[in-house]
Each structure stands twice: as structure tokens, then as C-alpha cells.
Amino acid sequence: MVTANWAGNVVFSSRTVHHPTSVAQLQELVAGSDRVRALGSGHSFSRIADTTGDHVRLTRLPPVCEIDTAAATVTVSGGLRYGEITSQLHEAGFALPNLGSLPHIAVAGACATGTHGSGRTNGVLATAVSAVELVGADGELRTVRRGDPDFAGSVVALGAVGIVTALTLDLRPAFGVRQYVYEGLALDDAEEALDAAYSVSLFTRWAGRGFEQVWLKQLESDPEPPVRLLGATRAPAPVHMVPGVDPKHCTPQLGEPGPWHERLPHFRLAFTPSSGDELQSEYFVPRAALLDALRAVDAVREKVAPVLQVSEIRTVAGDDLWLSPAEGRDTAALHFTWVPDTGAVLPAVAALENALEPLRTRPHWGKVFGTAPANVAALWPRMADFSALARRQDPTGKFRNAMLDTYVPL
């Protein structure tokens, strides 16, 4: 029985965890419950997945990964993780446009919170979704498709409009990627470095030395990148971004070509991702405000650095999904992997939020944040539309929880 999230900082309040083995069983369960929420792979650091009622895990539903070759789409069942579908897609000659830093997360759970990878032209993972099949509050199964009036509110939906039983995702032809790591980049070169390849991540410990590492994920068909990138030089051996952790947890580097799904995530499925003992926060600013945001964090680095394991900067293309972190704007994402000590971390989170507040900074729904609820609601222009959709789809509030009550006004 699952009682806590992956990080262990959230102990769930659910009275029961159900594992339905068919969609019909799930429908019956949802129809008969007064409070119910889906739990994905439990990788969120916030209380977004919590409920005081019934938790539902979809891992025992029949696993479906059905590729439509002609349409270049795949329909995946709600319990599957990215790492359970990507090889099959690749073998069929297809790819997803992008992935997050780890393949361990459930597709439905990742899309529900607006999880993202990096890349100027890459949207959050939910932008690949063209249809969502879900069990509504009445227990009925329905499908919302791209172009339907409710679609843009039903994908990054925080579990508030139903339990997703299947997602249809757009595919592109399979592609190869080479991953290179560079060391030593100046803070002011961030803008240019982030556009240097298909997907780029900058890592810093905010120790006043710029970025210690630049991870470049380059299409195999693109020319080899320079040996020196701006002021940075290529790492001579594989590295992990968290000091002291074995690089064998990470996907292959040194320019060794490989399939998209073995290079776009930083971490390998068979290994613990990240440091494995941590909290995380992440903030999203308009891409045009990236340098201002970096300078704002630099100004409070003495509060941030002592409780930080590492910080990562990425880019995300703007989209039109109502609660996406990149809704309506090309985005820069500033991520923080903290030490696993909530009491020590919260003052640093507050200092960061204070420093970033003037930049219309949105927090990641699945990570630790303390932004005032009224400010959160004002940061997403379509929040009122989302609230209306949730109210209409779930009139008795069975999918709601304390976090939605706090941040998504009814």
C-alpha cells in the first residue's frame, strides 16, 4: 500500500488505495465514491496527488500501447510510465518530441502537472496529447479531443476533471541524439547556450562561478558541436550533475549516438534518478526575462546555496493549455534540487519567490512552493475557465483536495 510520495515528504491522507483491473471496475469505484483521486507514480513533491478519500492507482489496468502508424499517434493506458512505452515506439520507427529528466514517471501523472523537458521549440510533455479518455465524476467514460471546447483545460488538469484512463500522443519519426557535457559557462552566456541544441540544460550550485555544467542534447543529424562552447570546455569523462553521485545513473554522454529515449532524459530507468534524497522546486518566467531571473537568484544565492544540491535552467515553448506552466508564453524554467529537509529549505524557497515575484513567476504544480494562493490564481489567465470546467465536470467536488481548494478557486 502506497502511503507516501517518492521523496517521502508527503504522507498521503487517503483512507484506501484501490488497484482496479478494468476500466469498468474503475468507473464503478468513481461513481460510488464521495472523494477520489488518481495517484500516478507519486513523483510530485507537492500535495497535488493527495486525497482524504479513495486513492486509485491504474498500474493493474491492462497495459495498452497502441500505435496508429498512418496517423503517427500512440494511445497509452493511464497506468503506464514513459519508460514502459518508449522502446516500443522507437522499434516501430517513432519518437515522442521530448521527455522529462526521468523515464520513471507515469504519462498521465506527468501530463496532469505540466511536466516538461528542455528545448526552445519543445512544449511541455502534455502538448503531445491529442486526446484524453477519462472517467468523469458520474462514472461515465468520455473522450476529449484536441479542438473540443474543453480540451485545453482537460490535459494539464491536476486530476480535477476526471481519472485519465488513456492518452493519445502525437509521434514524430524516430531520431538519434548525441549528448555532450561542457564545464564552466558564465551566467551571462545562458541565453545563447540554451539555444545551442535541440535540448539544453544548464546546471549551477549558485556558488558564484556561473554554470558548472552545460548538458547539450543534439540531434544526431546536426553537425558536431564545437569543442569549446562559448567559454565552456567539454567534460573529458561522464559526469552526474549532483556532486558525489555516480554518473552511471545518467544517460550516455561524450557524444555517443543513441536513440532519443536514451538521451533526452538525464537519468536511466534502471537507476535512481537525481540524487534520490531531496526536495525540488521549480519556477517559470517568460523566456525574455531569463537574464533578469538569473540575476535575481544570484542576488539571493547566499540563502539558496547552503540548502541546494543543484539547480537546473531549461527552456520550454509556449502553449495554449490553460494550466500549463508555459501557457501563453515561451518560458525559461529555473529548477532547484534541495537537501531533504523541509524546515531548512522553506526559508530559501521564500527568498527565491520574493526575488522572482516581479517577473510573473509561476510555480511547478508538482514541486514545493509557497507562492500566495491569490497570486497563483492570477498567474494563469485561464484559471477562471479552468475552475468553471472543474465545477461543471465535478459538481460535488469528489476530485478536489486541499491543494486544489487552496490554489484553484471555485
Ligand X SMILES: Cc1cc2nc3c(=O)[nH]c(=O)nc-3n(C[C@H](O)[C@H](O)[C@H](O)COP(=O)(O)OP(=O)(O)OC[C@H]3O[C@@H](n4cnc5c(N)ncnc54)[C@H](O)[C@@H]3O)c2cc1C
Residue 49 is a binding residue for ligand X (CB under 6 A): yes
Distance of closest approach, residue 158 Cβ to ligand X, in angstroms: 5
Among 67, 76, 96, 106, binds ligand X (CB under 6 A): 106
Binding pattern to ligand X, positions 147-176, x when CB under 6 A? -----------xx---xx------------
Nearest to ligand X of 122, 303 (CB atom)? 122
Distance of closest approach, residue 174 Cβ to ligand X, in angstroms: 21
Residue 105 is a binding residue for ligand X (CB under 6 A): yes
Residue 323 is a binding residue for ligand X (CB under 6 A): no
The CA distance from 21 to 26, in Å, is 8
Nearest to ligand X of 204, 303 (CB atom)? 204
Among 33, 86, 98, 115, binds ligand X (CB under 6 A): 115
Nearest to ligand X of 303, 319 (CB atom)? 319
Residue 123 is a binding residue for ligand X (CB under 6 A): no
Binding pattern to ligand X, positions 241-280, x when CB under 6 A? --------------------------------xx------
Residue 371 is a binding residue for ligand X (CB under 6 A): no
Residue 83 is a binding residue for ligand X (CB under 6 A): no
Footprint on this chain of ligand X (rule: CB under 6 A): 6, 37-44, 48-49, 58, 78, 100-102, 105-106, 108-110, 112-113, 115-116, 158-159, 163-164, 273-274, 364, 366
